[in-house]
Structure 1
C-alpha cells in the first residue's frame, strides 16, 4: 500500500508516520526505488500499537523506545500496555520474535536471570531458548521488572522474600482469569458479535483490575488491623471455591457510618 492508504487506515498523518519511522518505532518501508515506498499490514499494526500506548497508557515515544530495549521505566505502566508492546515487536520482526533476551534485561537488572528462572518455576512465565540465548516475552519481562522494583523496596532474600512467595498470586490469578473467561463467554456467546465483545473486554479488563485492586486493599487492611488487635485468628480464612466470596470488610462487626454534618 502507499502512504495515503496507510494514513487512512491508521488515522495518522504522514509527517507523524515519518517521525515514528525515524525513531525506529515503525519499520522502514520497502523501497524498490528512491522515490517509491511500499507499506504493509505490519506498518498498520505497528502504528496502531504506538498510538494505543500513547493514548491509553500515556507512554511517550522515547519511553516506548526504552521499553523495546528492555529498559525499566521510572513510572508504572499498566499491564495491558505490554500487549500493545508485543504487537509492536511482532510488526517489526514477526510472530516468532516477540521476545527479549535475559542478557538484555541483565544490563539494568543484575538479578534478572535468577528471578526469571524462579518465576518460570512457578508457572506464570516461560523461558524461551534461542540461538542468541535464553529469552522471555515482553509481558514476562515486565513481570521480572515488577519483582525488581519489589526487591528495591526491601522484598529481597535477606528478608526471606524470594520469587517463590508469589505462588499465591499465580494461583489466584489463574483462578480469577478462568472465572472471568467462562462467565464472559457464557453471557455473551450468541448474543454479542465478536467485535463488540472484544471492545467490551478492552474497556472492562483494565476497569476490573482497578476494581480488584481496591477490594484487595480493603481486605488487606482488614487483616492487618485484625492482627494488630489480636483477633486475626478469629477470622475464618477465605476460600476461592466458596460461592459468593468473602464478606464485605466491616469494623467490629458493624457497618461504619459517617457522622452527619451539622
Structure 2
C-alpha cells in the first residue's frame, strides 16, 4: 500500500508517518521508485503500537524508541510485558517539602512496609522496581496525611490487585507476536487504571446510596 493508504488505515497523518520513519520508530517501506515506497501490514501494526505508546501511554518519542527496541529484542511474552510495564509512567505522589530528617525516617518506614507486603503476598518483584518506589512514596504521603494505611490493611487491596493482574495476563496470553502483544499491553496497562478507578467510584456511589436508604433520617 502507498503511504496515503497507510495513513487512512491507521489514522496517522502522512507527515507523522514520515516523522516516525525519520526518528527510527517505523521501518522504511519497500522502495518502488526514487520517491515512492510500499508499506505492508507490519507497518500498520507498528503504527498502531506507536500510537498506543505515545497517545495512551504518554511516552516521549525517545522513550517510545527505547520501548520498541526492547520489544523487538524480547525473547518471550514476559519480557515484552515487562518492557511495557517499566516504560509507562508510574503514578507517584509528589514528595512533601517537610523536614529532611523526618522525611527520611518516614521514607524508610514506608519502604520497609512495602517490602513486608511484597513478602507477605509472595510476589516476585525486585526492590529496584519503579512500582516499589512509587508505592513507597504513596504510602509515605498517605501517612503524612494521617490516613490509616497499615500494612495489614494493604494486604486486602493487594489481594484484589493480584486477581486483576491475573486477568490482565490471561488477556495478554491470547497474543503471540510481540507487536500485537505490546499494543494490547499498552492498552491494558494504560487504560485499566482509570477504568478500575471508575468502577471503584461507581461501587462507592452504590454503597453510599444504599447506606442512605438504610438510614433515611440520618443528616
- Identify the TM-score tier after normalising by the shorter chain: 0.3 to 0.5
TM-score (norm 1): 0.40
Whose RCO is larger (CA < 8 A, sep 6+)?
2
Higher fraction of strand: 1
TM-score between the two structures when normalised by the length of structure 2: 0.46
Bigger helix fraction: 2
